[in-house]
Amino acid sequence: MCDELFYEPEKKQVNNNVCYDKNATLVIKQDAIINNVRYIKKTTGAKLIAVVKENGYGLGVANLYNIIKDQNIFMYAVTSSCEAVALRREGCDTDILMLTPVSEFGELLKLVNENVVIALGNARQIPELRYIYGLTGKRPRVHIQIDSGMGRYGFNVDDLPDLRHEDYLSIEGCFTHLAGSSTNYKKSVQKQLRIFRTALAKLRASGIDTGICHVANSKAAMTFGSLGFDAVRVGSAILGKVCVKCELEEAVWLESKVFSVYNRQEGEHIGYQGDVALKRDSSLAVVRIGTGCGIGLIQRDAVNYNLGYVIKTFFRKINEVPVMSVWINGRKSPVIGRIGVSHMTVDITEIPAKEGDTVKVKVNPLLVHPYVRRMVV
């Protein structure tokens, strides 16, 4: 008998512990992103440092870079060396700033070899950078990082390093990260600015050229502009997601489809634990997306997150007001009951909707599951 009859095709190696089928697409509107970049530059009048941290805020660092790369970006900012390397592999020859003051030798060496500007924010970095210069002959490029109130990274204003004779460093800038405030934002920013300006004065008095200075993040840039410094450092504002009323356009959302439509009577309970009782005969739609896609993990609309909203939410009864809404056929529709891992129920009593209709959901793209497809339109 022919040997071919006994041939078994080689089995492909499949990881059965990675089994996802997300019924959603993260839609990225490139025209909106480009318009937002132009608006930020026009309203602030400053150089733009585009923050593409956390894999481009969940969009994909390559996706975000390729959308804005022709918009005269002064510098890109990242929080991990792999993001910096990814930008270089995409052909980015613009300056990149590593915002996290890493001190591990191998990572610092990688950043120097990739010509990445390093946040110099702790004393442990100094001997490592000095050694790298001796090893490679390349002067590490740095922006001095000041802690003005965040309490996370950066030198304290009363404990600045003496860098006057550190000729192995190329000091090209100085920055801080605003902590903000839940009460008086303007007062908080003013206090942090005083600390940062004090640090700048001390550095300059010691003979240090502080170079390009940048303070304003997305919220500050859209509220106060550049704050009198050379550049603004924004990320979420580029996506139109910032808790300030302005002309930015929301550029990213999640889309899915109506899976099924059914009717329920007044008084019936809906969802986990039956915590919502219908107050009328209702038409409902099931959509096969939920917390597993990143929906409902943060449900507040940032623009409405103020004291009045907090008070109203505190006194809200869960069976009276929905926690969030979606859009079906351009009409706003409330979600009913708790959102599940892979499903949600939507009240479509007031709108015409059928199986297969497109459902649009506002999301924080940082929380969207990495297996959800990204689509640039």
Residue ranges of domains in the chain = 30-239, 252-376
Fold classified for 252-376: Lyase, Ornithine Decarboxylase; Chain A, domain 1 (2.40.37)
Mean pLDDT (the chain, rounded):
90
**Cβ atoms within 10 A of the Cβ of 335, count?**
23
Q: What pLDDT score does 12 carry?
A: 67
* Backbone dihedral angles phi then psi of residue 38, each to the nearest 5 degrees: -65, -40
Query: Which residue type, as a one-letter code, is found at position 145?
Result: Q
| SS3 per residue for 297-327 | CCCCCHHHCCHHHHHHHHCCCCCCCCCCEEE
For 49-83, how does the pLDDT look when each residue is reduced to its tens digit (9 = 90+)? 999 999 999 999 999 999 999 999 999 999 999 99
d(CA 38, CA 185): 26
Does position 337 have pLDDT exceeding 60, yes or no? Answer: yes
* Backbone dihedral angles phi then psi of residue 315, each to the nearest 5 degrees: -95, 5
- The answer to whether 366 touches 57, Cβ cutoff 8 Å, is yes
Per DSSP, 13 falls in state: P
Confidence grade of residue 321 (pLDDT, cut at 50, 70, 90): very low
> In angstroms, what CA-CA distances link 67 with 131, 132, 301, 304, 329?
38, 34, 26, 29, 27
Fold classified for 30-239: TIM Barrel (3.20.20)
| pLDDT-wise least confident of 2-11, 235-244, 329-338 | 2-11
Q: What pLDDT score does 18 carry?
A: 80
Please name which of 45, 107, 46 lies closest in space to residue 78, comparing C-alpha atoms: 107
Does position 155 have pLDDT exceeding 50, yes or no? Answer: yes
d(CA 70, CA 56): 16
Please name which of 197, 189, 204 lies closest in space to residue 149, comparing C-alpha atoms: 189
**Cβ atoms within 10 A of the Cβ of 118, count?**
28
The two structure tokens encoding residue 98: 């590593």
Name the pairing type of β-strands 269-270 and 212-214.
unpaired
Q: What pLDDT score does 320 carry?
A: 47
Q: What pLDDT score does 77 carry?
A: 98
Strands (E), 111-246: 117-120, 141-146, 170-176, 212-214, 231-234
Please name which of 306, 184, 332 lies closest in space to residue 244, comparing C-alpha atoms: 306
